[in-house]
Structure 1
Amino acid sequence: MIKHHPSDETLFRHASGTLEPGPRIVVAVHAGGCPVCAGRIGEFEAFGGSLLQEIEPEEMETGALDRAMAMIEADSSGRRKTAPAPRLARADVGIRLPEALEGCGIGPWRWIGPGVRWSRVTLAGDVDANVMLLKVAAGRRLPEHTHVGSEYTHVLKGAFSDARGRYGPGDLDEADDDVQHQPIVDDDGECICIAAVEGQTKLRGLFGRLIQPLFG
């Protein structure tokens, strides 16, 4: 059972297209398996559509439609055929990935510390977005950290806990700059998450400083 969801503000920003690409893909992964949040996004999209219908239309300039149609026709007749965008490389990370990640590049697991590995997720529309998969061994503690902005972490497998509660498969942890925490993975199995930051994660301790560049 999913117990932790994105805030309504985040779901509204997702629906309106104002959420940054990294957090947006993490929320999309969550909504793909959470009917409650998928429904809320649909409600916000419908609300935005109703607002557009209420906006008073602007009168078009004389001949504006003819000029627009002429430009479309000229573009269609002179357009060069282009090759489709190359498919981003996808490594086998050992789990079935959510449908929302279809079309994303998936890097191989890389060691960053005892019991901790990461895989870079590359977005087709924004290759600079800082999105990653994290795989943490059973019982392992992640570095204590806080945030400048917000951190979005969706659990794909296993579970972790911090002072605020326990997060299992399907849960999304949205942590803002008021949160300072140290996630601890359950003892009965590894935990795999997809994570993105809107802002910056501030890691503490020696290990945290060593891997800080991965988190921006």
Structure 2
Amino acid sequence: MIKHHPSDETLFRYANGSLEPGPRIVVAVHVGGCATCASRIGEFEALGGSLLHDSEWDQMDAGALDSVMARIDADEADHTRAAAPGRRLPRADVGIRLPQVLDDCGIGPWRWIGPGVRWSRVTLPDDDSANVMLLKVTAGRRLPEHTHVGLEYTHVLKGAFHDARGRYGPGDLDEADDEVQHQPIVDKEGECICIAAVEGRTKLRGLFGRLVQPLFGG
């Protein structure tokens, strides 16, 4: 049973398209398996449509339609290039079936970053700079204590971890802001695999934290 969800603010930003690409893909993974959040997004989309319908219309400048159509054509061209077979991103086998929403993403091989901790780079088809990764942590392992500048989104794909705020199992999404300073600990029953993205930067503490800081955009 899913117990932890994105905040309403995050779901609203997801619905109106203002959430950054990295966090957006993590939230999309969660929404794909969470009927509660999918329904909430539908409510926000309906609210946005109602507000648009009820708003007063301003007189458009001459040539505004041509400008909009040109932007649509440019966006379609970018999408076509991103979706072209030649731009298919490489995918390593990370040992689990990833959610369908990641099918067009590049998946890097597992790389060692510390005892019991491996990471895999996730590359988005339309944004190479997005800071998204898979993390695989062995049973019982403690991750570095850290806080954040901005928001960190972590969705559990397999296994579970806990910190002072609670336990996060498969399907749960942990949204941590700059008021959260925590040290996730993986359950002893088995390894934990998550997909994570950072909006802003993550500040890790300790020697191990400084070693892996570049992976989190710091």
With normalisation by structure 1, the TM-score equals 0.90
Residue 7 (1) aligns with residue 7 (2): yes
Q: Once the two structures are superposed, what CA deviation does each residue of 1:74-102 show, in whole Å capped at 9, x if it has no partner? A: x8xxx9x9792511111110000011112
Partner-residue secondary structure (3-state), 1:40? helix
Runs of 4+ aligned structure 1 residues displaced above 6 Å come to none
Aligned counterparts of 2:168 and 2:137: Cα–Cα separation in 1: 14
Aligned counterparts of 1:89 and 1:23: Cα–Cα separation in 2: 21
Match of 2:158 in 1: 157
Residue 197 (1) aligns with residue 198 (2): yes
- Using the TM superposition, give the Cα deviation of residue 61 of structure 1 relative to its aligned residue in structure 2, in angstroms: 6.2
- Using the TM superposition, give the Cα deviation of residue 208 of structure 1 relative to its aligned residue in structure 2, in angstroms: 0.5
- Using the TM superposition, give the Cα deviation of residue 214 of structure 1 relative to its aligned residue in structure 2, in angstroms: 0.5
Q: How many residues matched?
A: 207
For the pair shown, the structure with the greater C-alpha radius of gyration is 1
- Using the TM superposition, give the Cα deviation of residue 59 of structure 1 relative to its aligned residue in structure 2, in angstroms: 3.8
Ranges in structure 2 where 5+ consecutive residues have no aligned partner: none
Match of 1:166 in 2: 167
- Using the TM superposition, give the Cα deviation of residue 58 of structure 1 relative to its aligned residue in structure 2, in angstroms: 3.1
Change over 3 Å in CA distance of 1:155–1:61 after alignment to 2: closer
Partner-residue secondary structure (3-state), 1:51? helix
Partner-residue secondary structure (3-state), 1:201? strand
Q: Could you tell which deviates more after superposition, 128-137 or 82-91?
A: 82-91
Q: What is the RMSD computed on CA atoms of the aligned residues?
A: 2.2
With normalisation by structure 2, the TM-score equals 0.89
Aligned counterparts of 1:61 and 1:186: Cα–Cα separation in 2: 60
Partner-residue secondary structure (3-state), 1:9? helix
Residue 20 (1) aligns with residue 20 (2): yes
Aligned counterparts of 2:191 and 2:47: Cα–Cα separation in 1: 40
Identity of aligned residues (%): 79
